[in-house]
Structures are given as structure tokens and as C-alpha cells.
Amino acid sequence: MADFKIRTDAPQGRETLDALVEETARQNRAAFATLFNFFAPRVKSYLLRLSADDALAEEIAQEVMLTVWRKAHQFDRTQASASTWIFRIARNKRIDIARRASKPALDPEEPSLLPPPDIAPDEATHASARDLRVQAALKELPPEQLSLLQLAFFDGLSHREIADQLDMPLGTVKSRLRLAFDKLRKHLDAEDL
């Protein structure tokens, strides 16, 4: 990329710069060339002050001016001056690049990103049959035992928390849970638990 040169016949004044952006929106190449010659070196200097190295500052300045060419139709002089608008684009591009650089690359071997392993058909059939037996066994439990199992295993409450929540003695909670497990064992093989 060629280094930017500051022209001595650069346009001056907000009105002139705003009008150049509006002409650029009409795809006026001469207006854009004037804008480019005026803003590209200033944008590069701004980026250098923001700690970008020379090559990165020049690359971002090129991208900024390309954005100006492509999005000049979005410029609204009632919202901001051409300078403010262009330097905001530069600032945002610099922030985007800094964010991309600070994000770590994803490890394709990360276990949480890998799909779950395929289950063999016989294992799936066995698991399904076991689930049906467990559901049938749970249906045969008395409601007070079933509700205690749900609080302990699905809600993750301790025996003490269950006793406090149901306003029940701790010993009663423990004995009802023990009875529920005994009933489940009668319906299920020990290897299925």
C-alpha cells in the first residue's frame, strides 16, 4: 500500500467537507478522491495515536475510506459533521479489530464443542427398557414417597432442606426415602440402579 500524502489544496470548512460526502453518496469519484486525499492521512495519524502500528493504521484507514465510499448515502449532516462521522467509523473499525484480536481461537477438540458420541443400538434399547421399568416402579410409590424422591433427586435438596420445606421431622424424611428405595429395588434389578 502506498503511504498517504497530505495535499496542500485540501478542502476546508465543515460545509465543504459535508458537501463532499454528499457528492460521494451520488458516486462522484472526484468528490471521493478529494475526501480520500484529505481524510486518509488524518485517519491514519489518529489510528497511530491509538497505538496501532504503521501497517495496521494504514490498512484501517483504507477500510475506513472504503466504508465512506460504500456508505456515504447514510451520512446525515444534521446528525454529525463529515469529520465526526468519518472518525467515528475509524474508531469503530479499530475497536472491532481489537476485539477480534483479543478473542481466543476456538479449540476444535474442546469436549463441550464436540457432538455427543453415538450410542450403540443395543445400548439405546437397553436404556429405553430400563427407563420404562423405572417409570413404572415410580408410579407404584405412594405420593408422599414420590414427592420426597422428586425433591431429593430432581430438585437436589438435602434431607434437612426437605424436612424444613415440608415442615416434617428429619427422621420421617429419611425413613420415607429409605422405604421408597426399598420398593424401587423390589421392582428393579440391582444392576439397573
Angstrom CA distances, 23 to 76, 88, 141, 145, 165, stand at 12, 20, 80, 79, 73
17 contacts 81 by C-beta, under 8 angstroms: yes
Angstrom CA distances, 120 to 125, 126, 130, 192, stand at 9, 10, 15, 18
Q: What's residue 130's pLDDT?
A: 80
- Give all domains of the chain, ordered by start, each with its CATH number: 14-102 (1.10.1740.10), 121-192 (1.10.10.10)
Number of continuous H segments (helices) and E segments (strands) in the chain: 8, 0
pLDDT of 36 over the 90 cut: yes
pLDDT of 176 over the 70 cut: yes
Q: What is the mean pLDDT of residues 12-32?
A: 89
pTM, full prediction: 0.50
The proportion of the chain whose per-residue pLDDT surpasses 70, expressed as a percent, equals 90
